[in-house]
Amino acid sequence: MNVYRRLLGYSFKYKYRLITGVVLSFLVSVLNGASLTSIIPIFDAIGKGGKADFQITLTKKDRSVLEIQNSGKEVEGVQKLELILAEAKVGANGYLSSLPKDELVLLFCLFIFPIYLAKLLFLAGAVYCINSGGYLAVRDLRLELYSKAQELPLNQFVQEKTGIFMSRIINDVEVLAKLISSDLKDAIVDFFYIITHLLILLIISWEMFVAVLVIVPLIMGPVTSFADRIRKATRNQQERLSALNGHLQEVISGIRVIRAFSMEKTEAGRFWEINNDLSEKTFKGHFYHQIGPSLVELSSSIVAVIFLGFGAYLMELRQFSLGDFMVFFLTLVFLTRPFKQMGMLSNSIQSAVAAGNRVFEMLDSETDIKQPANPILPKRLSKELKFESVGYTYPGAKTPALSDLNLTIPKGATVALVGASGAGKSTIVDLIPRLVDPSEGSITWDGTDLRNLDLAALRKKVSIVNQQVFLFNGTIRENICYGTENVSEEKMREASEMAFATDFILSFEDGFDTVVGERGVMLSGGQRQRISIARALLNNPEILILDEATSALDTESERVVQQALESLYKNRTVLIIAHRLSTVQIADTIFAMEAGKVVEYGSHSELIRLDGKYKKLYEMQFAESPT
């Protein structure tokens, strides 16, 4: 029920367009009725043998005002106008009765033409107002979803497949768009068609109208049960489509892994299943869809046959004229289309409700990272960034990734985190720009909880360089400048120089304007790494975080980049995570981590002297690769 209400809310978003559209739709249906009924005199004229004798009926008022005139008395005030009208009618009747039949018919046809013209104009207006309102509302909805996707918890992007998000923003929204634009317009126009045209039927002949009410439902019974079947068959189609979408997305982004592990056959098998399922279900839905209209046609033709007979009988009894009969019949046939469309509407509503449910579920899902109600603008870090009894458990995980973690990162210090893979180093890093928030404890910026700081301002102060580098489709220049505004060529080149990226960039024909392909496949891992380091440097962050940033580089370039980075450590607070302990020796403090906790900390020499876990780790690496 809630979904209906919200869908209605969206269609009411541009209400002035909607209201105008409704009024125009009403006029369209009235004009349509007028064009249909104006056929009555034509058929009546044709039906009668010899001379056509169509006359405009004079009202009581007409007659009384004419009598006054005839008796020689003066007419006064409003009556003067009424007299002019009555005399015009009499004059017209005189003219009409002098006309031969064919000319009379022609005259009526000319009269119908402007009605059709007006109907066309009003219909165009109604379509414009309602459809454009619907698409504007949908544009807004899509934007809402997009912004929502930007705020959703990061772990959802891992848990849920990207294809599902994409399918919601693209396919599901399209289904809603159809409902609140073209389908809504049809529904409104059809509604008025039905109301006005049923009224016409009732006025022409109540006997026939009653007969319609009795017989039509009997015949339409089977039609509705068939419609149910259509609904059932199409219900899951959309979801199957998004499953296919999700699978493809996964296979395409994971193509390297699939090839490397020779999983092509298995993946093809999965694809075959989803694809086959989709094809079967889609065919079933389409089959019913194609057959449906013919079934409706059959039923309505049965109705037509019955009424032709009954009508002929009533005509024999002189209950009504040939014109009445023809118009009744035409109106009845005309009415089948709006009724049919109304029936189909329930289909659209069904799939729109399903799509709406998915869309609103996404819109309503909790965003874990919120901008505080009264955000404090963070000042330059003057003292320290402090983790106090911080715990963090990933949603759905059994064991915490971090527990009771205490660490202090003094302003301007270079701090390193070391430890086995899975120890929680990257999780700590994600907590600083609030990509995730701690489940327990707090992190403070000069004593202020991060959760009270302005989110965008905080993130601006922190740059992370990861091992996995994401490059956007675009040029190298655009990728280096991503996230920083108004960058001068000089600054950009300086950053690239410091990241030791200039040499390889200039070796490309287009230099900084070289386009990197989707996810930058044409660059080596090390090259991408250096672009992302240049990006972070250009951003000139207060806190620079290098999460295994140089591990994709070969030893030689790592040494070079490392040197470049070291000169940058001086003016800012730096957090380094590295596997190769040789790169962390220069750190002021090294935190050795194990299973989400800090087990030892101190400078390199202090930790070696301590002769604990760090020393063991160090000796192990030293034995492996003497550097």
Q: Which residues bind Mg ion (CB under 5 A)?
A: 426
How far apart (Å, rounded) are the C-alpha atoms in residues 425 and 440?
17
Residue pair 464/548 in contact (Cβ under 8 Å)? The answer is no
Q: Looking at beta carbons only, is 426 or 463 nearer to Mg ion?
A: 426
Q: Name the binder of 221 from ligand ADP, Mg ion, none, CB < 5-8 A by kind.
A: none
Distance in Å, CB of 153 to ligand ADP, minimum: 10
Distance in Å, CB of 425 to ligand ADP, minimum: 3
Q: Looking at beta carbons only, is 359 or 577 nearer to ligand ADP?
A: 577
Q: Looking at beta carbons only, is 70 or 421 nearer to ligand ADP?
A: 421
468 binds ligand ADP (CB under 6 A): no
Q: Helices 489-498 and 525-538, interaxial angle, to 10°?
A: 130
Q: Looking at beta carbons only, is 204 or 592 nearer to Mg ion?
A: 592
Q: Looking at beta carbons only, is 155 or 408 nearer to ligand ADP?
A: 155
Distance in Å, CB of 543 to ligand ADP, minimum: 18
Distance in Å, CB of 264 to ligand ADP, minimum: 28
Q: Looking at beta carbons only, is 355 or 462 nearer to Mg ion?
A: 462
Distance in Å, CB of 158 to ligand ADP, minimum: 5
Q: Looking at beta carbons only, is 47 or 153 nearer to ligand ADP?
A: 153
**Alpha-carbon radius of gyration of the chain:** 39
Question: b/e for 151-188, b at 16 or more Cβ within 10 A?
Answer: ebbeebeeeebebbbebbbebbbebbbbbbbbbbbbbb
Q: Looking at beta carbons only, is 538 or 546 nearer to Mg ion?
A: 546
> Tokens 């070696």 label which residue?
608
Applying CB under 6 A, the site for ligand ADP has a residue count of: 13
Distance in Å, CB of 385 to Mg ion, minimum: 19
SS3 breakdown of the chain: % helix, strand, coil, rounded to 5?
65, 10, 25
Residue pair 196/33 in contact (Cβ under 8 Å)? The answer is yes
Q: Looking at beta carbons only, is 345 or 435 nearer to ligand ADP?
A: 435
Distance in Å, CB of 565 to ligand ADP, minimum: 19
Distance in Å, CB of 547 to Mg ion, minimum: 6
285 binds ligand ADP (CB under 6 A): no
How far apart (Å, rounded) are the C-alpha atoms in residues 326 and 311?
9
Q: Name the binder of 85 from Mg ion, ligand ADP, none, CB < 5-8 A by kind.
A: none
Spatial CB neighbours of 298, under 8 Å, sequence gap ≥ 6: none
Distance in Å, CB of 592 to ligand ADP, minimum: 12
Q: Is 212 exposed, middle or buried (0-12, 13-18, 19+ CB in 10 A)?
A: buried
DSSP-derived letter for residue 172 is I
> Tokens 């020393």 label which residue?
615
Q: Looking at beta carbons only, is 245 or 426 nearer to ligand ADP?
A: 426
Site for ligand ADP in 150-169 (CB under 6 A): 155, 158
Q: Which amino acid is at 566?
A: E
> What's the number of CA atoms in the CB half-sphere (13 Å) around residue 556?
0
Q: Looking at beta carbons only, is 474 or 525 nearer to ligand ADP?
A: 525
Q: Name the binder of 422 from Mg ion, ligand ADP, none, CB < 5-8 A by kind.
A: ligand ADP
> What's the number of CA atoms in the CB half-sphere (13 Å) around residue 15?
4
How far apart (Å, rounded) are the C-alpha atoms in residues 26 and 185?
11
Spatial CB neighbours of 528, under 8 Å, sequence gap ≥ 6: 469, 471, 520, 552
Distance in Å, CB of 397 to ligand ADP, minimum: 5
Q: Tell me phi and psi for residue 499, to 5 degrees.
A: -90, 5
Tally of residues, the chain: 627
Secondary structure (3-state) at 476: helix
463 binds ligand ADP (CB under 6 A): no
| Pattern 410-449, ligand ADP, x by CB under 6 A | ---------x-xxxxxxx----------------------
Q: Helices in 365-483 by DSSP H: which ranges?
A: 425-431, 455-460, 476-481
Distance in Å, CB of 431 to Mg ion, minimum: 13
| Pattern 21-60, ligand ADP, x by CB under 6 A | ----------------------------------------
403 binds ligand ADP (CB under 6 A): no
Q: Name the binder of 294 from ligand ADP, Mg ion, none, CB < 5-8 A by kind.
A: none
What is the 3-class SS of 118-149, one letter each residue? HHHHHHHHHHHHHHHHHHHHHHHHHHHHHHHH
Q: How far is CA 543 from CA 361, 461, 463, 501, in A?
A: 36, 6, 6, 22
In this structure, the dihedral spanned by the alpha carbons of residues 591, 595, 597 and 599, taken in order and rounded to 10 degrees, is -50
Point out which residues pair with 418 in neighbouring strands.
Answer: 592
Q: Tell me phi and psi for residue 586, to 5 degrees.
A: -75, -10
Q: Looking at beta carbons only, is 180 or 402 nearer to ligand ADP?
A: 402
* Contacting residue, 394, 482, 504, 508, with ligand ADP by CB under 6 A: 394
Stretch that binds ligand ADP, among 5-13, 243-251, 394-402, 512-520 (CB under 6 A): 394-402
598 binds ligand ADP (CB under 6 A): no
How far apart (Å, rounded) are the C-alpha atoms in residues 37 and 32?
9
Structure tokens at 5: 């209400």
Q: Name the binder of 185 from ligand ADP, Mg ion, none, CB < 5-8 A by kind.
A: none
Q: Name the binder of 427 from Mg ion, ligand ADP, none, CB < 5-8 A by kind.
A: ligand ADP
Distance in Å, CB of 593 to ligand ADP, minimum: 7
Q: Looking at beta carbons only, is 348 or 427 nearer to ligand ADP?
A: 427
Residues forming contacts to ligand ADP in the complex (CB under 6 A) are 155, 158, 394, 397, 401, 419, 421-427
